[in-house]
Chains A and B, each alone.
Chain A
Amino acid sequence: MSAKLAIEAREGSIRVKGKQKSQLQCDADSIAGAVSQRACVYSGARVVLNPITDAIHLVHGPIGCASYTWDIRGSLSSGSELFRNSFSTDLQEEDVIFGGEKKLARCIDELALKYKPSLMFVYSTCVVGVIGDDITAVCKQAEQKHQIKVVPVQSSGFAGNKSAGYRAACDALLQLIKSEGEPTAQSRKINYLGDFNLAGEAWIIRNYLREMGVELNATFTGDSSYASLRRAPAACLNIMQCAGSMTYLAQEMERVYNIPYMRVSFLGIEDTSRSLREIAAALNDKEISEKTERLIERETAEIRSLIEGYRVPLQGKKAAVFVGGGFKAVSLIKQFREVGMEVVMIGTQTGKQDDYDSMYSLACDGTVILDDANPSELERFILQQGADLLVGGVKERPLAYKLGISFIDHNHERKHPLSGFAGAVNFAQEVYSTLCSPVWNYV
């Protein structure tokens, strides 16, 4: 970095590969007034639990929190669409003064009667944490009254950041799968953690696994249901993609149910192939391994020429990346290389030191690596590094466009899959469509 940053305290969160060590300040509270791109605890919890399709997701709090999260994500369902509703207790001034427990209980009653769900999540928000509503007690009473599962999610917005929300969601999930009766016998099936079935991504992976001779048991949480999640303890292996949100769950499942876990990523040809091979290896079955090789060979052969075609016009272009979690960022460095591009700036909202270490070792010299960046830093390093394209979410998109560069949507709202071999083609196509659009001739 040449010039100093306006907010000095941010210096520790930014590194240049080759010039500084990989150690950077991350996993810390955002700085006031720095215009962080991060969301809150509730948001983190909701991201993880939202794809559970047959659940009622009831937000206990004032209306805004529920309003801004109504059906904004692209998780697809093969069954119930109940999860796409936004339910709120819409707390008012008098509720804040006198407590919201009674209203919460009434809301749960109404929803239980109207929708007859088997599962309900009750999320606490900022206010609830302060006024001290005992949502656990209310949920417990409701469970008995309606004979359904009502799970409190401790997601008060100020008690940490998005990562704390992931943890709260994992706690809720652990409560769900707690086997009450006989311990379930382990099978040859595996669980898939950290895929939210955005635009059907979990379905793509399920098909690959099936072809390999591996059956998926439960998916956390893409296109999942209460019943499917309760089967989770019966798996022999957990594969985990979004480590940022799921590591705690994987560790707990290892501790309690003896299920080992491994990290995977299905972004890009390289990571998809590697992950499939590692799954086959972990299951230690010759037939599975053979099938896996056949699958990889067929799929890569099919898309190789397509990707090669995109490589030509994209060769040598530079990408900047700012996404939510670590695994995406790490995979994207490799995925951009597959289409002939280098990443020159990379960062995440909630990455951990080991994610940054991976990014650091993969990135080329001079790459700027940053944690919890804000718009002014993104702007500065995009320009300084001469990036032609930014990868990010809804908030980052207009910044890229105003800077006159291309943009890739890598968020939970997207409507096309980016996972697996099919996703790799979509990705290359999207990069091509945004970098080679004729509109840039006019700006």
Chain B
Amino acid sequence: MEKQTLSYRSVTENPCKMCMPMGGILAFKGVERSMVLLHGSQGCSTYMRRHIAEHFNEPIDVGSSSLNEKGTIYGGEKNLRQGLDNLIKVYNPSLIGVLTTCLAETIGEDIDRVASAYLQERGQEEFPIVTVSSPGYGGSEFEGYWMTLTRIVTKLAQKVEKHNKVNIIVPFISPADIRELKRILQLMKIEYTLLPDFSDTLDQPFARPYKRIPDGGTKLRDIARMSGAPGTIQLGVCVAEGISPGKYLEDTFGVPLYNLPIPMGIENTDRLVNVLQEFSGRATPKSLLQERGRLLDAMIDSHKYNFQGRSVIFGEPELVYAVTKTCLENGVFPVVVSSGSKNAKLPELLKAQLEQVPQQMHFLNGGDFAGILAKSEGANIAIGSSEGKYLSEKAGMPLVRIGFPIHDRVGGQRLLSVGYTGTAMFLDRITNTLLEHKLANYRHNVYEKFYPGTKTVTEG
């Protein structure tokens, strides 16, 4: 493995990450009847809503305290209070998340104080307002997401009797992925609390009448009781301890933490299934073993095609790790692995894996697309969000879409990639993309290379 060799560059050219409050919104979307208020200028919330709506094809209502010049000079308390008032009037939520943006943070807003004063004056101290300090310059959507989950758990979890519901804390995977995890949990007969559960809220069935706050999300009551769980399975091996909700539950309530990677690929899925088996105390059900067998079968069927693939993998660190692992298992060896935001854990995690790569591999920790492109020679498939279309355009690399945002195709919310079955589907998308590319070009390529005589005739 080769470390980042680019000489230091200040400017970001075509970013591969977003800002913190974006991750915060997404995390809150998985909590029952919650609404979010971004404390800052109007634009941040509108841009993020637009981005999320485009991916999920769902209405995304997020409030803003719409700070203007006055608020910026004299403080935004009045706007924040009015924002809370109006959100409650129109939406009647059960929880409000207040996320700061760059502006509120730079002018030094104390959202904790305002929120508690607001509730006290109304005699509503019980109403949960979860505050998160999430300036855009403080980190990417990845840190925003995990920090928000930690804040939610910190706010809601209370000391309770031990019970048998296992905590499952998930990173930002697709709604279809969450539904698949739930199916596996059901198959293994495990009671659970899954946080955040945006499988319905960000992928609502069509139904009348329209509901402003969609049904679904993790129940507040269940979050409050996560402290009494027999254990936490957190799919977050790249998450720093300070923003790890699983770590918080372990330190504060003694709930044992099992930190696992996203179950993509055979090894990572085995790891999850093994831990689940520990909790259930039962043998893995036959149908799940069948699924595993089918995945193996698919891997064998496609292995020669896949071995032709040389990949560029980019996106959020957690997903990048899982995709890289899956690619390594199948011989789609990476040429570039790039985490959009700088991550402290990913280098170590990858190092252990990448010894097996037979060719040179570049790892960019916090790379932008200009950096990725510069290192991608020899790659023939890109794997990540729609932003990778830049690589397709510049280098003709076909793109397998996964992650967020997917804005130039439909169905980002329905992409299934976890578990044995999901891995097989993900792998098929890779293999088929390689095949499509090959079949579209081989006649021409072979003709160009071997057909006798043409060159001299046409060139003469």
Contacts and interface: CB of A to CB of B under 8 A. Distances in A.
Contacts of A111: 11
Nearest to B40: A126
B83 to A, nearest CB: 3
B43 A87 contact: no
A266 B135 CA distance: 42
Interface of A: 6-7, 29-43, 58, 61-72, 85-93, 95-96, 103, 106-107, 110-111, 125-127, 129-131, 157-161, 374-376, 379, 393-395, 397-399, 401-404, 443
B86 A31 contact: yes
Contacts of B419: none
Contacts of A70: 14-15, 387
6 contacts: A36-B66, A40-B43, A62-B135, A65-B136, A86-B15, A398-B60
B44 interface: yes
Contacts of A394: 50, 53-54
B82 A31 contact: yes
B150 to A, nearest CB: 19
Interface stretch (B100-108, B121-129, B161-169, B256-264): B100-108
B269 interface: no
Contacts of B64: 30, 32-33, 35-36
B290 interface: no
Given A29-B66, A40-B44, A107-B11, A126 B103 contact: yes
Interface string B37-77: 10011111011111101101111111111111101100000
Interface of B: 9-15, 17-22, 37, 40-44, 46-51, 53-54, 56-69, 71-72, 79-80, 82-87, 89-91, 101-103, 106-107, 135-138, 140, 204, 206, 208, 210, 212, 387, 390, 407
Contacts of B84: 33
Contacts of A161: 42
Contact of A395 (B11, B53, B390): B53
Contact of A93 (B62, B137, B390): B137
A21 B308 CA distance: 70
A403 B210 contact: yes
B163 to A, nearest CB: 36
Given A64-B136, A66-B12, A399-B59, A33 B82 contact: yes
Nearest to B211: A402
Nearest to A115: B13
B62 A36 contact: no
A68 B50 contact: yes
> Closest 9 interchain pairs by CB?
A40-B43, A64-B19, A33-B86, A33-B83, A32-B83, A107-B11, A62-B137, A62-B136, A68-B47
A9 to B, nearest CB: 9
B141 to A, nearest CB: 8
A61 B42 CA distance: 16
B210 A379 contact: yes
B86 A96 contact: no
Nearest to B387: A70
A398 B59 contact: yes
A158 B72 contact: yes
Given A41-B43, A62-B137, A88-B12, A402 B90 contact: no
B144 to A, nearest CB: 10
A103 B10 CA distance: 7
Contact of A375 (B59, B71, B204): B59
B43 A157 contact: yes
B17 A404 contact: no
Given A158-B103, A397-B53, 7 more contacts: A30-B66, A32-B65, A41-B43, A61-B102, A63-B15, A86-B13, A91-B137
A313 B49 CA distance: 35
Contacts of B50: 68, 393-395
A264 B80 CA distance: 41
B14 A33 contact: no
Contacts of A91: 137
A127 B59 contact: no
A68 B10 CA distance: 20
A93 B136 contact: no
Contacts of A43: 43, 46-47
A42 B46 CA distance: 12
A96 B69 CA distance: 19
A129 B106 CA distance: 10
A158 B41 contact: yes
Given A32-B83, A40-B42, A130-B103, A85 B14 contact: yes
Given A39-B46, A158-B67, A67 B18 contact: yes
B12 A62 contact: no
A35 B62 contact: yes
A39 B43 contact: yes
B240 to A, nearest CB: 15
Contact of A63 (B18, B37, B87, B387): B18
B208 A404 contact: yes
Contacts of A96: 102, 106, 135, 137
Contacts of B68: 29, 158-160
A265 to B, nearest CB: 26
A384 to B, nearest CB: 13
Nearest to A69: B47
B11 A87 contact: yes
Nearest to B10: A106
Given A33-B83, A40-B41, A404-B206, A62 B60 contact: no
Contacts of B106: 96, 126-127, 130-131
Given A32-B83, A33-B84, A67 B41 contact: no
A377 B61 CA distance: 12
Nearest to B207: A402
B19 A62 contact: yes
A76 to B, nearest CB: 14
B138 A93 contact: yes
A160 B136 contact: no
B42 A63 contact: no
A33 B85 contact: yes
Nearest to A379: B210
Contact of A89 (B12, B40, B57, B63): B12
B18 A395 contact: no
B69 A127 contact: no
B329 to A, nearest CB: 31
Contacts of A103: 10
Given A7-B89, A62-B102, A126-B40, A37 B46 contact: yes
A126 B59 contact: no
Contacts of B86: 6-7, 31-34
A67 B17 contact: yes
Which of A33, A58, A61, A443 is the most central at the interface, judged by chain B CB atoms within 10 Å of its CB? Answer: A33
A159 B68 CA distance: 6
Contacts of B63: 32-35
Given A39-B47, A399-B59, A63 B10 contact: no
B120 to A, nearest CB: 19
Contacts of A7: 86, 89-90
A67 B19 contact: yes
Contacts of B79: 32
A95 B137 contact: yes
A223 B9 CA distance: 30
Contacts of B212: 375-376, 379
A153 to B, nearest CB: 14
Nearest to B16: A67
A65 B45 CA distance: 11
B17 to A, nearest CB: 6
Contact of A58 (B11, B15, B40): B11
A250 B19 CA distance: 37
Contacts of B62: 35
